[in-house]
Amino acid sequence: MTESKTYRTKSGRVLDDNDLESISSEVESATYDVEALKARRRGRPTMGSGPADVVPVRLDPELRDALHARAVAEHTTTSDVIRRALKDFLHVA
Going residue by residue through the chain (93 aa), what tens digit of pLDDT does each one get?
Answer: 567 788 888 898 999 989 989 989 988 888 888 887 777 667 777 777 777 888 999 999 999 999 999 999 999 999 999 999 999 999 998
46 with 52: CB under 8 angstroms? Answer: yes
pLDDT at 87: 95
Output the pTM of the full model: 0.53
pLDDT at 5: 81
- Angle, alpha carbons 19-24-27 (nearest 5°): 125
Three-state SS for 15? strand
pLDDT at 30: 86
